[in-house]
C-alpha cells in the first residue's frame, strides 16, 4: 500500500468504505432527482430550444441574418467557437496532464471535466459548421476526391488544420472519456434493480468484469491516451490561434498567439469546471469527494493561467509599441481606446485583475466567491476573443470598410442556445452517468482518505520520513 505524506490534506472526507463510495456515486443515478435539477434542466432546455429555432432560421435564410457585415466578417460566430473550444481544454488538462503528473486530486473531477470537454466541443462545432454559410456542404471540409468540388482542400491553410485538429480532439476525448466510464457503468449494472436500467448499463459497460489482466490493460490504455492527449490539447488551441496568427492583419499576426491562447483556454476551462462542480457537489451532496481542497487547487491553476494571460496581454502591448510598426500600434491603441474600449476594459478587469484576488487563501476557499469568480473569468475570456476579432476587423487597412458590428437577435439566440445545450447535456450526464470516477477513487481511499490518514498519523506512519512508494 502506498503511504502519503501527512502534510497533504485528505481528498476523501469522512469515514468512507469502498461500499460507501459505491453508494454515494450511484445515488444520483438510482435515486430521484431533486427540484434544483428540474429547475436547471427546464431553463436549459428552453434556451436550447430557442437556439435551435435561431439556428433553423439561419440555415433557412442564410447568414445575412447575423450581425456580421462586409468589414467585420468574423464576429460572434468565431468568438463563440474559440470560447467554447477553450473551455473544453480544461477537461483534457485535468484528465491527461494531471494523470501524467500523478495528481490524485484529479480523480474526483476528471469525469465531469471530460464530459464538459465533449459538450463544449459540440457547441464549438455548431459555430464553425454554421459560419461556412452553407452548412449542408460542410462535408467539403474533408479531403474528398475533387469531383465534389473543384480541387482538393488546401493543406497549407490553418483553417483546414483546424478541421483535423478539432475532429481528432473530439473523437479522442470521447474514447478517453468512455474507456474510463466502462468500469463505472459495470458498477451501476451490477447493482441495478430495474430491468431497463440493468439492460441499459449492461449495454454501456461492454461486459466489463474487472479481472487483473483487464485492469492492467486499462491502466496502460489510460496512460497512453493521456500521453497522446497532452500534446493534442496544446496543438488544438495552437492551431486555433494560427487561424489568426498566420494572417497579415495587424493585431493578429503575432507569434505569441499559440501559448497565449493555450493559457487562456486552460484559464477559462478551469473556471467552467468550477461553475459546474460547485453546482454538482451541491445538488448531489458530493461535498466529501469534491472538497474545499479540490476547489482551492483549481483556483490556484486559475491564478497561474490568469497571470500568464495577463503577461501575454502586456507583452502584446509592449511589442506593438516596440516594433515601430504604426499599423500594429494603431491596432492596439484602437482596442484599448477605440469604439470597443468597454470590451477591452471588461477583458482586462475580468482576466488580469480579478484572478489576482485568489492570492488570498480566505477568498480562494470561499465557495460563493469562487462561484462568482468562475463566471467573471468566463465573461472575461469571452470578451478576450471578442476584442481580438471585432475591434480589429472594424478598423482594417481600408478606411472605407470601417464599420461597427452589432449582434442581431439571431446571434444572441444561437449563443444562448449553445449555453442551453451545454447545460442540458451536462445535467443529463450527471443524472445518468457516474459523475465521479469511483473505481479510481477507491484506489486512493487508503492513501488519501481522511479516516485512513488519521489512523496512519496516530500510528506514526504518516510522516514524510516513513513514507515510501
Binding site for other proteins (CB under 8 A): 1-2, 17-19, 22, 143, 146, 151-158, 160-161, 164-165, 168, 171-172, 175-176, 179, 182-183, 186-187, 189-191, 202-221, 223-225, 228-229, 231-232, 235, 239, 242, 439-440, 442-443
Task: Choose among 112, 56, 151, 48: nearest CA to 270.
Answer: 112
Torsion of the alpha carbons at 121, 125, 126 and 129, rounded to the nearest 10: 180
70-85 burial string, b = 16+ CB within 10 Å, else e? ebbebbbbbbbbbbbb
Cβ atoms within 10 Å of 112's Cβ, excluding its own: 26
Task: Give the whole-angstrom CA distance, residue 339 versus residue 395.
Answer: 10
Question: Helix crossing, 76-92 with 212-245: angle to 10°?
Answer: 150
Instruction: Region of 34 please: left (phi>0), alpha (psi -120 to 50) or beta.
Output: beta
Residues near 281 by beta carbon (within 8 Å), at least 6 away in sequence: 287, 289, 290
Task: Choose among 90, 95, 93, 84: nearest CA to 120.
Answer: 84
Task: Give the whole-angstrom CA distance, residue 1 versus residue 19.
Answer: 19
Cβ atoms within 10 Å of 98's Cβ, excluding its own: 20
Q: What's the first-to-final CA gap in the chain, in angstroms?
A: 8
CA distances from 150 to 136, 160, 196, 226 (A): 17, 16, 51, 39
Cell of 27: 445515488
- Output the smallest distance, CB 302 to other proteins, in A: 28
**Is 384 or 440 the residue whose CB approaches other proteins more closely?**
440
Longest dimension (CA), the chain: 78
Cell of 217: 490493460
Task: Give the whole-angstrom CA distance, residue 462 versus residue 466.
Answer: 7
Amino acid at each position: 500500500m502506498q503511504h502519503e505524506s501527512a502534510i497533504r490534506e485528505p481528498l476523501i472526507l469522512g469515514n468512507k468504505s469502498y461500499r460507501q463510495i459505491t453508494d454515494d456515486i450511484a445515488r444520483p443515478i438510482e435515486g430521484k432527482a431533486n427540484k434544483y435539477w428540474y429547475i436547471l434542466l427546464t431553463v436549459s432546455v428552453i434556451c436550447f430550444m430557442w437556439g435551435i429555432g435561431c439556428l433553423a432560421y439561419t440555415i433557412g435564410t442564410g447568414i445575412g441574418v447575423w450581425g456580421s457585415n462586409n468589414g467585420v466578417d468574423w464576429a460572434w460566430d468565431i468568438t463563440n467557437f474559440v470560447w467554447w473550444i477553450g473551455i473544453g481544454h480544461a477537461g483534457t488538462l485535468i484528465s491527461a496532464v494531471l494523470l501524467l503528473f500523478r495528481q490524485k486530486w484529479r480523480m474526483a473531477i476528471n469525469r465531469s471535466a471530460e464530459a464538459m470537454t465533449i459538450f463544449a466541443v459540440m457547441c464549438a462545432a455548431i459555430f464553425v459548421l454554421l459560419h461556412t454559410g452553407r452548412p449542408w456542404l460542410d462535408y467539403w471540409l474533408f479531403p474528398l476526391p475533387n469531383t465534389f468540388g473543384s480541387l482538393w482542400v488546401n493543406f497549407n491553410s490553418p483553417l483546414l488544420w483546424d478541421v483535423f485538429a478539432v475532429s481528432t480532439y473530439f473523437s479522442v476525448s470521447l474514447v478517453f472519456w468512455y474507456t474510463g466510464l466502462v468500469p463505472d457503468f459495470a458498477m451501476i449494472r451490477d447493482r441495478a434493480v430495474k430491468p431497463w436500467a440493468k439492460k441499459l448499463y449492461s449495454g454501456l459497460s461492454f461486459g466489463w468484469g474487472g479481472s487483473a489482466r483487464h485492469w492492467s490493460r486499462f491502466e496502460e490504455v489510460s496512460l497512453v491516451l493521456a500521453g497522446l492527449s497532452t500534446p493534442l490539447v496544446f496543438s488544438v488551441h495552437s492551431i486555433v490561434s494560427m487561424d489568426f496568427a498566420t494572417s497579415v492583419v495587424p493585431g493578429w499576426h503575432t507569434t505569441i498567439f499559440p501559448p497565449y491562447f493555450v493559457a487562456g483556454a486552460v484559464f477559462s476551462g478551469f473556471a467552467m469546471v468550477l461553475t459546474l462542480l460547485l453546482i454538482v457537489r451541491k445538488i448531489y451532496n458530493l461535498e466529501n469527494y469534491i472538497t474545499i481542497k479540490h476547489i482551492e487547487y483549481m483556483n490556484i491553476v486559475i491564478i497561474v493561467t490568469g497571470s500568464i494571460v495577463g503577461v501575454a496581454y502586456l507583452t502584446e502591448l509592449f511589442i506593438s509599441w516596440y516594433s515601430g510598426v504604426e499599423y500594429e500600434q494603431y491596432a492596439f491603441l484602437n482596442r484599448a481606446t477605440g469604439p470597443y474600449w468597454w470590451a477591452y476594459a471588461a477583458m482586462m478587469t475580468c482576466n488580469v485583475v480579478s484572478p489576482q484576488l485568489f492570492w488570498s487563501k480566505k477568498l480562494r476557499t470561499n465557495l460563493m466567491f469562487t462561484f462568482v469568480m468562475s463566471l467573471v473569468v468566463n465573461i472575461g475570456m469571452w470578451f478576450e476573443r471578442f476584442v481580438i476579432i471585432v475591434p480589429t476587423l472594424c478598423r482594417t487597412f481600408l478606411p472605407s470598410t470601417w464599420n461597427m458590428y452589432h449582434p442581431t437577435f439571431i446571434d444572441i439566440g444561437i449563443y444562448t442556445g449553445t449555453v442551453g445545450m451545454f447545460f442540458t447535456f451536462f445535467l443529463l450526464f450527471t443524472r445518468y452517468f457516474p459523475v465521479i470516477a469511483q473505481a479510481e477513487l477507491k484506489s486512493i481511499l487508503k492513501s488519501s482518505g481522511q479516516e485512513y490518514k488519521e489512523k496512519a498519523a496516530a500510528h506514526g506512519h504518516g510522516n514524510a520520513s516513513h513514507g515510501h512508494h
